Chain A
Amino acid sequence: MRWNSTGYRITGKADLNAEDFFVEVEAPEVAERWRPGSFVILLLHEKGERIPLSVQKVRDGRLSLLVKRLGKSSWQLYREYGVGSEVAHLAGPLGKPIELKEYGNVVVVSDLVCGHAENYAISSALREINGNYVISIQSFKDRSEVYPEEFLTKDVCHEFWLTTLNGSAGIKGHFLDVVAKLLEERDIDIIFGGGELASLWRLAELTKPYGIPTIVTVRQIMVDGTGMCGSCRVLVDGKIKFACVDGPMFDAHKVSFEDALRRLTRFEREEKLALERYLRGGAP
């Protein structure tokens, strides 16, 4: 067993579009255990925050993470942590992975960076299992946002759909439009989704009348990520669950999305302040 107690080396990095990027971190003990559906927590430096990140895939003891430049920490990771440098801490895998088994006809959808990572992970794992037919749908706003081919799920599923809202690449629309069509035309056994909570909420409403199991990642603000603080609590079937240990994937038909969406905005003001300060060059 090789251990990193502190200091995790960055071994790869690339732009995916104007906002999203890929970063590969060496963490053999985490990579070995990671399974689709689980995530990791990364801490850049001793003054940093603990940020949950989705894993796209692992190889040779390295984790491929897909990140959006959104807040201060992701900007700092993008700007200051190049290949060869080290992030201070990385912990995981956290949360419950999905069950890897024969489901039948599986649809996996995503419309946001973390969702795209999960889509890749889930599609590729389920495609390997006999009896599964994996339909993967990725949505972007427009052509300029579409990831380079090797980061798309195209080659890790049986059937690939790419959509853009304006139709500049793939078909015009959102994964919700494709799912609506598939629900009418095909026999779908299960749907996995990740990305914007608002889209996942609509996905839940869309599939509910059909009674099709719909499992989605409920992205929430976390601190420790090990069930210790309850920051990421989500109401599922009227009961409080912690996204970090009970999730992050839940039965979409039972999730209270209204609360989940609102709780994502808890620190909006502070996040904005920290980012502006960083971009002004105010913080090291």
Chain B
Amino acid sequence: MKEAVTARRVPTPERPPEQRLRDFDEVNLGYTFELAVEEAKRCLQCPVEEAPCAKACPVHIKIPLFIEKLRRYSDARTAVKEALRVIWRDNLLPAITGRVCPQELLCEAACAKGRVGEPINIGKLERFVADYAREHGIDDELLEEQLPRVEAKRGRVAVIGAGPSSLTCASELAKIGYKVTIFEALHKPGGVLLFGVPEFRLPKKVLEKEVERLKRLGVEFKLNCIVGKTITLDEIRREYDAVFIATGAGTPKLLNIPGILLNDVYSANEFLTRVNLMKAHKFPEYDTPVRVGRKVIVIGAGNTAMDAARTARRLGAEVIIAYRRGREDVTARAEEVRHALEEGVRFMFFVTPIEILGDERGNVRAVKFMKMKPLEERNRESKRKIMPTGETVVVEADTVIIAIGLVPNKLIWENVPELEVTSEGTLKVDGDLMTSIPGVFAGGDIVRGEATVIEGMGDGRKAAKAIHQYIQRSKHQQAILKV
């Protein structure tokens, strides 16, 4: 009887869809302390060294250990502080990863409890620890204890880009006494967390707090600074002991089909940047506009497609997500797909756009799709291969949003011939994430192409270690040379 109860997760409250569609506030309200403890008690407490969840986590958070802290202390403040201490050892941005990680494919997929029932809700527990700590000033308290005791004089490191990988690398280095400067092209830090992920999935106040914490660690932000334009990589190298490049995969892929230049055809990046970064949903209070018609078609089925679709729903449109593969190959987080469905987003599978049709004024009127069919054969990502059926279908729409992925922005390497680049435009790195230029490291999507936030953060952490070793080694060599 008891087993039957604990086989199921303690649910986290969510706001009803009809209420969600009226604003951009967060969907999931997260655990209270009592609910978090109840969920924590379901954990089987595998030994940390062998815990499958920790192994599956790209940054290897000691998950059973932080969950144990929640169970051990009856006082919420102490429990959260100790749990946060455990998490921070491996991940300084738990409020973010708790919200944007695809846990169902990582830690929760590996969870031993999952074999007999529902896996532990690790993502929501992580988020609870981070949120409770932030709301009660516990993170500030812990930070105070951990602030570097020494003046930042171990060396100077430049970090290019202000997304998740950069923020992680910067904080790791700042914590051990490096003076870190972050160079960001936009007018605010955050990268994809700022312009890509919508408010209803990651409230910007959460991000702002993380940035504030970095500033308290002594990290300096140079905004409006486009490396490769405002300043060159060479100039930065002259002033800093090492460089970490994490400029992401910033350039949207567009379809090579007729009609791509019609007026209301957006890349998901443009659509989301207008809303998330520029607050176009508050136009005309904010100056940047966005136009969404009555019927929106979103092409693609990744997280960005869900974000664009759900944003368009909130702006009052009917939304169809069109995907060339089937339901089982949707790449978005399971929770985002569920939320999209609850919010009335409809899906069309096995269709690929072949033309966007316009009216005489150049506005979108419909999208013409080729119907696809799946084959038994699978591709390298073990997705079923697809082929055109020859049959087409025309679906009415007045706005089209293309969310088929991104490629690296070439601005960073365009004028730096020494920086070796792959045919995909990503930077080549060695096992220590060092590029072809000594002392210049890189990580996140500029290396991986398109990966998750947590993988980018894992790179940031790994690079921080490698940078530390690199700088200490070169200082040591310089000292020897002087003798």
From A238, which residue of chain B is reached at the shortest CB distance?
A: B256
A245 at interface by CB-CB < 8 Å: yes
Q: A233 touching B261 by the CB < 8 A rule?
A: yes
- A263→B263 CA distance, assembly (Å): 6
A265 at interface by CB-CB < 8 Å: yes
Set of chain B residues within 8 Å of A271, measured between Cβ atoms: 289
Query: What 1/0 mask marks residues of chain B from 240 to 269 whose CB sits below 8 Å from any chain A CB?
Result: 000000000011101010001101101101
B287 at interface by CB-CB < 8 Å: yes
Of the residues B221, B230, B361, contact of A93 by C-beta under 8 Å: B230
Interface segment among B35-43, B165-173, B272-280, B461-469: the answer is B272-280
B12 at interface by CB-CB < 8 Å: no
Of the residues B230, B362, B411, contact of A33 by C-beta under 8 Å: B230
A262 at interface by CB-CB < 8 Å: yes
Q: A228 touching B278 by the CB < 8 A rule?
A: no
Main secondary structure of the interface of B (DSSP, over half): loop
Q: B263 touching A43 by the CB < 8 A rule?
A: no
- A230→B403 CA distance, assembly (Å): 12
Of the residues B224, B226, B284, contact of A5 by C-beta under 8 Å: B224
Q: A223 touching B223 by the CB < 8 A rule?
A: no
Given contacts A91-B224, A93-B229, A259-B261, contact A227 B409 (CB under 8 A): yes
Q: A29 touching B411 by the CB < 8 A rule?
A: no
Q: A29 touching B231 by the CB < 8 A rule?
A: yes
Interface segment among A45-53, A129-137, A197-205: the answer is A45-53
Count residues of A near B (Cβ-Cβ below 8 Å).
51
Q: B252 touching A229 by the CB < 8 A rule?
A: yes
B187 at interface by CB-CB < 8 Å: yes
- A245→B228 CA distance, assembly (Å): 11
Set of chain A residues within 8 Å of B187, measured between Cβ atoms: 6, 43, 50, 88-89, 91
Set of chain B residues within 8 Å of A89, measured between Cβ atoms: 187, 223-224
Q: B223 touching A6 by the CB < 8 A rule?
A: yes
- A72→B279 CA distance, assembly (Å): 16
- A88→B224 CA distance, assembly (Å): 10
Set of chain A residues within 8 Å of B256, measured between Cβ atoms: 240
Set of chain A residues within 8 Å of B411, measured between Cβ atoms: 226-227, 245
Set of chain B residues within 8 Å of A5, measured between Cβ atoms: 221-225
Q: B254 touching A240 by the CB < 8 A rule?
A: yes
Count residues of B near A (Cβ-Cβ below 8 Å).
44
Q: B230 touching A29 by the CB < 8 A rule?
A: yes
Q: A72 touching B287 by the CB < 8 A rule?
A: yes
B474 at interface by CB-CB < 8 Å: no
Given contacts A89-B187, A230-B252, contact A49 B278 (CB under 8 A): yes
From B252, which residue of chain A is reached at the shortest CB distance?
A: A230
Of the residues B250, B286, B291, contact of A267 by C-beta under 8 Å: B291
Q: B273 touching A224 by the CB < 8 A rule?
A: yes
- A156→B231 CA distance, assembly (Å): 29
- A92→B227 CA distance, assembly (Å): 10
Q: A3 touching B222 by the CB < 8 A rule?
A: yes
Smallest CB–CB gap between A258 and chain B, Å?
9
Set of chain A residues within 8 Å of B274, measured between Cβ atoms: 223
Set of chain B residues within 8 Å of A60, measured between Cβ atoms: none
From A270, which residue of chain B is reached at the shortest CB distance?
A: B289
Max count, chain A CB within 10 A of own CB: residue among B251, B254, B261, B273: B261
Query: What 1/0 mask marks residues of chain A from 1 to 31 whose CB sits below 8 Å from any chain B CB?
Result: 1011110000000000000000000000110
From A235, which residue of chain B is reached at the shortest CB distance?
A: B261
From A274, which residue of chain B is reached at the shortest CB distance?
A: B284
- A138→B266 CA distance, assembly (Å): 35
B185 at interface by CB-CB < 8 Å: yes
- A50→B266 CA distance, assembly (Å): 17
Given contacts A226-B409, A256-B261, 12 further A-B contacts (CB under 8 A): A6-B223, A6-B224, A50-B288, A93-B229, A226-B226, A229-B269, A230-B252, A230-B267, A231-B267, A235-B261, A245-B409, A245-B410
8 sample A-B contacts, Cβ–Cβ < 8 Å, listed by A number: A48-B286, A91-B186, A224-B273, A226-B186, A229-B252, A229-B270, A245-B411, A267-B289
Q: 7 closest Cβ contacts across the A-B interface?
A: A270-B289, A229-B270, A49-B287, A91-B224, A230-B267, A259-B261, A89-B187
